Amino acid sequence: MQTTKAVEKAYTFIRAQTLKGVYSSGLRITEQEIADATGVSRTPVREALRRLQAEGFLNLIPNQGAAVTDWGAGSISDIFELRALLEPYGAARAAERVTPKAIEELRGLAERQYEESLRRAPGYVRRIGELNSRFHRAVQESSGNARLLAMLPALIDAPLVLKTFSRYEPADLVRSASHHLEIVSALEARDGVWASSVMRSHIQAAHVSLRQIHHANPSRVRATG
């Protein structure tokens, strides 16, 4: 039990540092560094690193620790192309399996994101990013496909790592949040075709927005990481 808690502690710490940008793209981190920061031994740290590699956040380097995944422009395209293939499938499955409790949770997340997009009060970018990740994760959890869920953590959290929402125009923020509300309606209607279609459009719109940012100023995409 203690080992499990130690792994979770190291895992949570590394993941949080990555999502906050403290551990930036390409940065090398060592087992000892994480062990010192978290107060756990290197064995659970090693397991946490393996887990984060499996989720796509890190790349393990033999005898050297790990490097944070490079979120360059090429990788970004790969990420959104994969999301456009996998998440619509998960949304369609979720329409068949989602529970009333999950729908209530999803609606709450979508409504909060919509409100944040309209108000844009201080700190809204961070809050929208977190709500967005929680929403997408909850949809995939409702799909009932454990293997799909295991493949998606880094893909779902990519906008959070990249701080995509800090580069959105107000209209883009509202559009993104509106997509979430429509996805909830599709899930509640048990309409997998509708849910899949909106999810695909939602991800494609996010990808186009990010491409436009990159074409306007390539260095800004790297800077968001």
**Residue range 21-55, pLDDT digits in tens:** 888 888 999 999 999 999 999 999 999 999 999 88
Backbone angles phi, psi at 72, to 5 degrees: -70, 175
What CATH architecture does domain 2-68 belong to? Orthogonal Bundle (1.10)
Residue-level pLDDT at 215: 57
- The mean pLDDT value for 110-126 works out to 96
Residue 75: pLDDT over 80: no
CATH 1.10.10.10 in the chain, residues?
2-68
- The mean pLDDT value for 75-85 works out to 88
Helices (H), the chain: 2-19, 31-38, 42-54, 73-97, 100-119, 124-142, 146-151, 153-162, 170-188, 192-216, 218-223
To the nearest whole number, what is the mean pLDDT of the chain? 88
Residue 181: pLDDT over 70: yes
Closest CA to 73 of 224, 179, 192: 224
Categorize the per-residue pLDDT at 150 as very low, low, confident or very high, splitting at 50, 70 and 90: confident
Backbone angles phi, psi at 86, to 5 degrees: -85, -45
Closest CA to 3 of 40, 53, 35, 37: 40
Higher pLDDT, 34 or 218: 34
CATH 1.20.120.530 in the chain, residues?
73-223
Residue 158: pLDDT over 60: yes
Residue 222: pLDDT over 50: no
Categorize the per-residue pLDDT at 177 as very low, low, confident or very high, splitting at 50, 70 and 90: very high
Spatial contact of 183 and 159, defined as CB atoms under 8 Å apart: no
Residue-level pLDDT at 131: 96
Helix axes 100-119, 124-142, angle to 10 degrees: 160
Closest CA to 143 of 158, 156, 130: 156
- The mean pLDDT value for 78-85 works out to 91
Superfamily of domain 73-223, CATH level 4: GntR ligand-binding domain-like (1.20.120.530)
Residue-level pLDDT at 21: 81
Q: Which residue has the tokens 């499955």?
A: 93
Least confident among 1-10, 75-84, 130-139? 1-10
Residue-level pLDDT at 223: 33
Spatial contact of 26 and 67, defined as CB atoms under 8 Å apart: yes
- The mean pLDDT value for 83-104 works out to 97
Spatial contact of 97 and 143, defined as CB atoms under 8 Å apart: yes
Instruction: Tell me the two tokens of residue 133.
Output: 């990740």
115: Cβ contacts below 8 Å, ≥ 6 apart: none
Q: What percent of the chain has pLDDT over 90?
A: 64
- The mean pLDDT value for 159-172 works out to 82
Q: What is the pLDDT of residues 183-212, one digit of tens each?
A: 999 999 999 999 999 999 999 998 887 777
Residue-level pLDDT at 221: 41
Categorize the per-residue pLDDT at 154 as very low, low, confident or very high, splitting at 50, 70 and 90: confident
